Chains A and B, each alone.
Chain A
Amino acid sequence: MEEIVVQLHVIDWAIVVLYVAFMLFVGFYFSKKKQGFDDYFMAGRSLTAPLLVGTLVSTFYGLDTLFGTSEVGFYEGISAFFAYSLPYTALYVVMAVLAPKFKEMFPDGTTMQDIAFRKYGKPAGIFTSIASFLYSTNTMEMMGIGFILNLITGMPIWMGVIIGAVLVLVYTWTGGLWAVTMTDFIQFISMMITVGIALIVAWKAIGGYDGVFEGLVAWTGSEEDASYFFSAGAGYLSPWTLVSYGVTSLAVLAEPAFFQRVFASAGPKEIQKAFAAGVPMWLSFDWCVTFLGILGAAAIGLGIIPEVEANQALFAIVGQYLPVGLVGIFLAGVLAAAMSTADSYFLVAGGVIGYDIYKNVFKPDATSDQIERMTKLGMLVSAALSIALAFTFDRIMEVWVFQATIILSVALVPVYFGAFSRKPPKKIAGTLATGFGLIFSVVWYIWSNFFGTWSDEWEVYLIKIGNIELWQEHGILIIVPTVIVIYLIANAVGKETVAEVS
């Protein structure tokens, strides 16, 4: 056992244990209610706006947002919000317009991959399914849960990873999308409210802006450096870092979990209402997390909390300022952020195996029970892969770059061109675009990892082509336009279209 970073009171422990027990209860409760695959995987296509807000926000806001944004806030100040979070919010607004259209165009759609199968046939559908499965592995969340359990119990991270995976898998396995949505709803409420309370209480206690600025001056050593923390013009961030952040945010447009929720909704109007209500909450969450990171840096400067790592500062601030009970709720909220993301992606990955591959490719006449069984098997495979990758990757950001690259390279272009083009798209265009997207992104990733050089300054892999030095993140900027060109040429010269089966 390692040293415990955050000491919990017995009341806080009770809250965390009760919370986990409640999540498991919800899973078992909905396992008794469900009737067939459509109910299991799509919640009977009856999700209303409030449930959609909860599940959309909590699914996309996991530990990467909580730790990632607060970490950038800790080092770079409010540019974490303006440079890192706002591009995502802009794309949520775009999705608010596009998502209802997808529901109108594919009222009986189940997954994003469905669009590829219907518009381009099996090869494109399979390539998109592989990309979605890889994207939906829960490596980041598994690493995050391991990290949290290590902080509060001192248990080794590997043990925390396995415990986290088993817990999430149990209630997702038993209850399906209803359990995921209802737990997401509760998890959304706890994570939002606790960061809101933490910010207000800590901001007031430290003396508001004046106290924070004083702490930052002490921490950075000069007023000029401290003022960068409140510079909306990106602070210390370079334009290339901004491009890198902005590019990965495009993954919102080809997000398999978003598509599943959109298709599981009660209708396009519910989706519109959900995004309209969700965007202010996304913004407020980002703001709170950014400023909790800034508060962490200021509190270290003032000597209120010890000198801890950026990702531990958030916990140190909470432990310092929140009373007993609220610390437990906050930790439950942090676990909630991880679990709500992990459960969704386990289910989505299971759906890729059970619905997209097993039903669409191998057994179109499969019964509802057979598809559900294969979906559960897919969840097990995804969990095993997530745990294995959690021990393989050193840095959380590496996983995210790989996943964002693969989903954008494979799915973005064919799905959007296929859904919104007026003429039926050509089969060869979808097949080549998804196939080359998959090959290019895997090759790019392997190449940059094995032949690139690691930059400690930028914390990215650098690849040299002649005199040009590229980041691993720039792969998206090269591959996606290449895929567009391939798609457009193939669509112009191709002849065969796929008769849409609805």
Chain B
Amino acid sequence: MGWNVTCYIMGAISIIGPICLIFWYLQGAKAQLARLNKKEE
């Protein structure tokens, strides 16, 4: 039971972690773009 749950959790982290990272990166890129646009104005 314990091994099953741990394997599914670790597998899930391995899948969800990078997806969260994509959103984190896009959020930062969006904020930077907004800053650049503001500077140009």
- On A, residues with C-beta under 8 Å from B are 48-51, 53-54, 185, 188-189, 192-193, 195-197, 199-200, 203, 208-209, 212, 230, 277, 280-281, 283-285, 287-288, 291
**Are B7 and A203 touching (Cβ within 8 A)?**
yes
* Residues of chain A with a CB closer than 8 A to B18's CB: 188-189, 192-193, 281
Number of interface residues of B (CB under 8 A): 20
Interface contact A53-B21, CB-CB below 8 Å:
yes
> B residues bordering A, Cβ < 8 Å?
1, 3-4, 6-8, 10-15, 17-19, 21-22, 24-25, 28
A211 to chain B minimum Cβ distance, whole angstroms, is: 10
Q: How far is the CA of A209 from the CA of B25 in the complex (A)?
A: 37
Question: How far is A188 from B10 in the complex, measured between Cα atoms in Å?
Answer: 16
Contact A50 B21 (CB under 8 A): yes
What is the count of residue pairs linking A and B with beta-carbon distances less than 8 angstroms? Answer: 82
Q: Are B15 and A192 in contact (CB under 8 A)?
A: yes
Q: Which single residue of chain A is at the shortest CB-CB distance from B26?
A: A50
Can you report 20 residue pairs joining A to B where beta carbons are below 8 Å apart?
A: A49-B24, A50-B25, A192-B14, A192-B18, A193-B19, A195-B14, A196-B11, A196-B14, A197-B15, A199-B10, A200-B11, A200-B12, A203-B4, A203-B8, A208-B3, A208-B4, A209-B3, A277-B21, A281-B18, A284-B14
Question: Secondary structure at chain A's binding surface: helix, strand, loop or mixed?
Answer: helix
Closest residue on chain B to residue A48 by CB atoms: B28
**Known contacts A50-B25, A291-B7; is-contact A284 B1 (Cβ 8 Å):** no
Q: For residue B22, give the distance in angstroms from its CB to the closest CB of chain A.
A: 7
Known: A192-B15, A209-B1, A280-B13. A199 touches B21 (CB 8 A): no
Query: Would B3 and A199 count as touching, CB distance under 8 A?
Result: no
Chain A residues with Cβ below 8 Å from B28 are 48-50
Q: How far is the CA of A436 from the CA of B34 in the complex (A)?
A: 53
Q: Is the CB of B15 within 8 A of A193?
A: yes
Residues of A close to B11: CB separation below 8 A: 196-197, 199-200, 203, 284, 288
- Minimum CB–CB distance for A486 against chain B, Å: 43
- On chain B, the residues within 8 Å of A199 by CB distance are 7, 10-11, 14
B32 to chain A minimum Cβ distance, whole angstroms, is 9
Per CB-CB distance, the 8 closest pairs between chain A and chain B, nearest first, are A196-B14, A50-B25, A284-B13, A196-B15, A200-B11, A287-B10, A189-B18, A284-B14
Measured CB to CB, the closest approach of chain A to B8, in angstroms, equals: 6
Q: With contacts A48-B25, A287-B10 known, what are 6 further pairs, Cβ within 8 A? A: A197-B15, A199-B7, A200-B8, A200-B12, A280-B17, A281-B14
Q: Which residues of A contact B13 (CB under 8 A)?
A: 196, 280-281, 283-284
The answer to whether B14 and A185 touch across the interface, beta carbons within 8 angstroms, is: no
Residues of B within 8 A of A280 (CB): 13, 17
CA distance A287 to B6 in the complex (A): 9
Complex CA–CA separation, A283 to B15 (angstroms): 13
Docked complex Cα distance between A287 and B9 (Å): 10
Task: Determine whether the beta carbon of B21 is less than 8 Å from that of A288.
Answer: no
**C-alpha gap A199/B6 in the complex (Å):** 11
Shortest distance from the beta carbon of B6 to any chain A beta carbon, whole Å: 8
State how many angstroms separate the Cβ of B9 from the closest Cβ of chain A. Answer: 8
Q: Which residues of B contact A281 (CB under 8 A)?
A: 13-14, 17-18
Chain A residue nearest to B24 (CB atoms) is: A50
Q: How far is the CA of A188 from the CA of B21 in the complex (A)?
A: 10
Question: Quick one: closest A residue to B29, CB to CB?
Answer: A48
Question: Chain B nearest CB: distance from A235 CB in Å?
Answer: 15
Residues of B within 8 A of A230 (CB): 3
Enumerate chain B residues within 8 angstroms of A193, measured Cβ to Cβ.
14-15, 18-19
A428, B8: Cα distance in complex, Å: 54
A237 to chain B, nearest CB (A): 19
Which residues on B sit within 8 Å (CB–CB) of A189? 18-19, 21-22
CB contacts (< 8 Å) of A53 on chain B: these are 21
Residue of B1, B14, B22, B24 touching A288 (CB-CB under 8 A): B14
Tell me, in angstroms, the Cα distance from A51 to B22 when the chains sit together.
9
Contact B12 A196 (CB under 8 A): yes
| B25 engages A185 (CB within 8 Å) | yes
Which residues in B have their C-beta under 8 angstroms from that of A209?
1, 3-4
A242 to B14, CA, bound (A): 26
Contacts of A54 in B (CB 8 A): 21
Question: Roughly how many angstroms separate A288 CA and B19 CA in the complex, as a whole number?
Answer: 17
In the bound complex, how far is the Cα of B10 from the Cα of A192, in angstroms?
Answer: 11
CB distance from A487 to the nearest CB of B (A): 40
Q: Chain B residues with Cβ under 8 A from A212's Cβ?
A: 3
